[in-house]
């Protein structure tokens, strides 16, 4: 059951990546276009459909949850292998690129909060 | 000594698990003891990763950060695109369309506005700093969304590692800013009910930052903000290397 969960995740991952690669191929840009996003969508759909049919076993979820919990450690490892020595010269750019989006998005906050939720 | 390094490299992935585990352990400790949980351990750990990558680069003059140090080459596997994308996809588990519908159109609108305007802001700043190639601009714009969307997009469009590093750093800055700033700004933006928390999560994304910031504001708001924020990374990974990249390519 545990492996079935991992296999479900792997299946969604591969199909999503194939969609992303194919899309990039046919758009003529030789890049992966949103493969990870498609894979996430597929996983959500697959889980919801399986649950509807009562086929989603708890242990299957645990197989996926393990990877979900490995997410931050993997991101930490990914940060550790970047070319930070060269990027360091652009530290100020990174700082601004982190701050400005927050400031801009905050402007929308009062506008959206006032709107009616329908 | 030689044979030990050889052994470590042969078992590279396991060594990377161990070293990353130690790093995460220490950052949790720093988070609790030095910042009273004000800064999330995850943000500290990622920052620590960037610092270590910098040190690795200085020591070896290589391009792959810590992975250039003999004995630590396994980091290339653990931190490589395959494991990263696999782990990111898994976080979509538990999301349900019923919940998205409950959030309402305002929550969905906030998600799109959050991703698009963060992207534009990031691209604008990168452009102002003299970066002109579409791939690098897209990657930094994506990094302005979250520290995950940046590298995923960077790998997809084929950006260089130093640009990807900048995008991660931008995402980490954003995460820390949201974490620290949320309690201070909350009274001014009406962040005191579930609906506004959902909008806030959608606009800011950065799940760890939003969750930690809301926890410091009002713990009751955390699940609402986190709910929309979890969709942000998925939407970012979907839009940045596709629609937004192509749009930028068409403009420039």
Q: In the predicted model, what is the mean pLDDT of residues B84-94?
A: 85
Residue B108 has pLDDT above 60, yes or no: yes
Taking the Cβ of residue B93 and every Cβ of chain A, the question of whether any pair is shorter than 8 Å is answered with: yes
pLDDT value at residue B96: 67
Structural domains counted in chain A: 1
Residue B131 and residue B175 in one domain: yes
**Prediction pTM value:** 0.83
For an interface test with A, which of B75, B142, B169 has the most A Cβ atoms less than 10 Å from its Cβ? B169
Q: CA B210 → CA A45, A81, B13, B24, B240, distances in Å?
A: 25, 26, 31, 20, 21
| A15 in any annotated domain | yes
CB B122 within 8 A of CB A101: yes
Residues in chain A where the model's pLDDT stays below 70: 29, 116-118
Comparing CA positions, the residue from A96, A69, A29 lying closest to residue B21 is A69
pLDDT above 90: percentage of residues in chain B: 57
pLDDT of A118: 42
Pick among B242, B243, B248 to test the A interface (most A CBs inside 10 A): B242
- CB nearest B53 (choices: A82, A100, A112): A82
Q: Which of residues 150-209 of B touch A (CB under 8 A)?
A: 151-152, 155-158, 160-174, 176-178, 181, 185, 189-191, 195-196, 199-200, 203-204, 208
Q: Is residue A62 part of a domain?
A: yes
How much is the pLDDT for B166? 94
Q: Decide: B229 and B148 in contact? Cβ < 8 Å.
A: no
Q: Can you give the pLDDT at residue B56?
A: 93
Distances (CA, A) of B167 to A73, B102, B174: 18, 32, 11
ipTM of this complex prediction, to 2 decimal places: 0.89
Domain count, chain B: 2
Q: How many whole angstroms separate alpha carbon A70 and alpha carbon B151? A: 17
Full residue range of the structural domain in which residue A44 is found: 2-82
The H or E element that residue B25 is part of is helix B12-33
Nearest neighbour of B20 by CB, restricted to A76, A98, A105: A76
Same domain, B126 and B220: yes
Tens of pLDDT, residue by residue over B9-60, are: 999 999 999 999 999 999 999 999 998 877 888 888 988 998 999 999 999 9
Q: What is the pLDDT of residue B100?
A: 65
Position A9 in a domain: yes
Over the stretch B229-240, which tens digit does the pLDDT of each residue have?
878 988 999 899
- pLDDT value of position A99: 94
Say if residue B23 is in the same domain as residue B123: no
Highest mean pLDDT among B91-95, B122-126, B171-175: B122-126
Contact B238 A34 (CB under 8 A): yes
């Amino acid at each position: 059951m545990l492996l079935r969960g991992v296999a479900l995740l792997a299946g969604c991952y591969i199909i999503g990546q194939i969609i992303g690669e194919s899309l990039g191929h046919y758009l003529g840009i030789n890049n992966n276009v949103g493969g990870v996003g498609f894979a996430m969508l597929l996983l959500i759909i697959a889980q919801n459909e399986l649950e509807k049919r009562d086929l989603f076993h708890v242990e299957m979820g645990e197989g996926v949850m393990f990877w979900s919990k490995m997410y931050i450690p993997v991101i930490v490892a990914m940060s550790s292998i970047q070319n930070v020595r060269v990027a360091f010269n652009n530290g100020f750019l990174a700082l601004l690129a982190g701050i400005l989006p927050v400031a801009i998005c905050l402007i929308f906050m009062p506008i959206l909060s006032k709107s009616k939720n329908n | 000594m030689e044979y030990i390094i050889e052994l470590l490299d042969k078992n590279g992935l396991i060594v990377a698990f161990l070293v990353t585990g130690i790093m995460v352990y220490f950052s949790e400790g720093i988070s609790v003891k030095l910042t009273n949980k004000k800064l999330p351990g995850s943000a500290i750990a990622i920052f620590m990763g960037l610092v270590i990558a910098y040190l690795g680069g200085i020591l070896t003059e290589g391009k792959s950060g810590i992975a250039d140090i003999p004995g630590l080459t396994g980091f290339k596997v653990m931190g490589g695109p395959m494991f990263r994308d696999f782990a990111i996809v898994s976080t979509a588990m538990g999301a349900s369309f019923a919940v998205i519908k409950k959030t309402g159109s305002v929550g969905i609108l906030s998600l799109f506005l959050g991703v698009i305007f963060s992207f534009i802001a990031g691209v604008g700043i990168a452009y102002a700093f003299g970066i002109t190639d579409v791939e690098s601009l897209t990657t930094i714009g994506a990094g302005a969304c979250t520290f995950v969307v940046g590298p995923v997009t960077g790998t997809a469009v084929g950006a260089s590692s130093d640009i990807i590093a900048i995008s991660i750093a931008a995402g980490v800055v954003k995460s820390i800013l949201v974490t620290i700033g949320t309690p201070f700004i909350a009274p001014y933006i009406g962040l005191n009910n579930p609906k506004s928390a959902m909008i806030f999560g959608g606009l800011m994304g950065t799940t760890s930052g939003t969750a930690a910031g809301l926890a410091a504001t009002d713990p009751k708001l955390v699940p609402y903000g986190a709910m929309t924020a979890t969709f942000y990374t998925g939407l970012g990974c979907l839009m940045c290397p596709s629609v937004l990249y192509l749009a930028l390519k068409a403009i420039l």
